[in-house]
Amino acid sequence: MTQELLDQALVEEATKKSGLIWVRGAAAPSPAGPGEEAPTRALWHVWHEGAACLVGDGPGEQPLPGLVDGGHAVVTVRSKDKGGRLVTWSATVVELAADTPEWDAAVGELKGKRLNAPDGEAMPERWARECRVVRLEPTGATAEPPEGSLAARPLPSPATTRRPAPAALPRLLLKRRKRG
């Protein structure tokens, strides 16, 4: 019993303090067998009422592949200061219905952590129309983080640099170093 409480405390504290978690979702099992695993993604989140809450799958928001209501996910949490893996835990995925008290509470927390939102105060209405809000609820099972490097080729993304860096940038950067 003591080990379970320690694992629960580790999951909660590590996930609260890390602004980024690595999540691998699996589709909900069908009568034909288990669902297919989705790729592991780095996702921003907030810890709220005992679970990691995420928003995504809408225009301008993070993708949430394999995170389906009732499905399972594996979450790996990194250390905020060193970046190393701290704990890996299993979760049940719960999709929150828009405009319910649970959704409102989760969105209230997520709204405060969303950086560079294009629509500011109108963000919750857009999330209700176009996005999904999910909770990753710990099942209590933790695992040893995998050994070795998990480095992988970046997943395809529509993200691009807006334009090439200005030609004068290297000179400007060198001037700052000389002054300091």
pLDDT at residue 35, rounded to an integer: 57
Give the residue, 98 or 28, on which the prediction is more confident.
98
Q: Partners of 76 in the beta sheet?
A: 22, 88
Query: Is the pTM for the entire model greater than 0.75?
Result: yes
**Where in the chain are the domains?**
2-179
Q: Partners of 40 in the beta sheet?
A: 24
pLDDT at residue 152, rounded to an integer: 75
pLDDT-above-70 percentage for the chain: 86
**How far is CA 16 from each of CA 78, 160, 178, rounded to the nearest angstrom?**
11, 30, 40
Phi, psi of 113 (to 5 degrees): -100, -10
Over residues 26-79, the pLDDT tens digits come to 755 555 555 567 788 899 999 999 999 999 998 889 999 899 999 999 999 988
- pLDDT over 70 at 111, yes or no: yes
In this structure, the dihedral spanned by the alpha carbons of residues 22, 83, 59 and 112, taken in order and rounded to 10 degrees, is 110
Q: Which amino acid is at 83?
A: G
Q: What is the CATH topology of the domain spanning 2-179?
A: Pnp Oxidase; Chain A (2.30.110)
The rounded mean pLDDT for the chain is: 84
Over residues 14-28, the pLDDT tens digits come to 999 988 999 998 755
- pLDDT over 60 at 118, yes or no: yes
Over residues 79-93, the pLDDT tens digits come to 877 777 889 999 999
In the predicted model, what is the mean pLDDT of residues 135-143?
89
